[in-house]
């Protein structure tokens, strides 16, 4: 049986589950104020180019609701902005990207979106207020709503 010779090895498992650190995953953290590490890339999604802005949680400064779960440092999530396809949708995506990034653009003095993404965003440490928006179809799925994104 598993117990006979392996008792010493099984001691390695003698730990409370609640004492095991949670691993960072892909998840939109609970609403609050965060310090984040940013990334940016152009991705192909359904044969269309999208700008992906990635976020990695470094720390939570303040949760809106103390009862909400803590975000594990290293947790990642992202936002996509479609750059190809229906002109109206692209216009809307660029409008959202502008709204998201204009605070940082002002801080670093770069008004060109390409140069902002290429030269500044990757690896930048930033602060932001995060909220979660539920998916209409899937209530378990959340989208990030990012406000006050600023270079830290």
Give 69-112 pLDDT, tens digit per residue: 998 999 999 999 999 999 999 999 999 999 999 999 999 999 99
What length does the chain have?
152
Q: What pTM does this model have?
A: 0.84
Q: Is the pLDDT of residue 8 over 80?
A: no
pLDDT at 139 over 80: yes
pLDDT of 2 over the 60 cut? no
Residue 89 pLDDT = 94
Residues 40/121, Cβ–Cβ less than 8 Å: yes
The predicted structure's pLDDT at residue 110? 97
Q: Residue 7 above 80 pLDDT?
A: no
Give 54-58's long-range contacts (Cβ < 8 A, gap of 24+): 54/78, 55/79, 55/128, 55/144, 55/146, 57/24, 57/29, 58/34, 58/125
């Amino acid at each position: 049986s598993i117990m006979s010779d392996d008792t010493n090895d099984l001691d390695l498992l003698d730990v409370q589950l609640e004492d095991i650190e949670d691993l960072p995953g892909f998840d939109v953290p609970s609403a609050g104020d965060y310090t984040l590490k940013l990334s940016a890339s152009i991705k192909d999604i359904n044969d269309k180019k999208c700008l992906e802005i990635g976020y990695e949680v470094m720390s939570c400064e303040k949760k809106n609701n103390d009862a909400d779960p803590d975000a594990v440092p290293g947790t990642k999530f992202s936002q996509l902005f479609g750059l190809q396809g229906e002109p109206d949708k692209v216009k809307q995506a660029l409008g959202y990207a502008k709204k998201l990034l204009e605070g940082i653009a002002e801080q670093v003095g770069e008004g060109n979106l390409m140069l902002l993404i290429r030269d500044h965003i990757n690896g930048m440490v930033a602060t932001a207020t995060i909220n979660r928006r539920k998916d209409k179809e899937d209530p378990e799925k959340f989208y990030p709503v990012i406000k006050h994104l600023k270079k830290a």
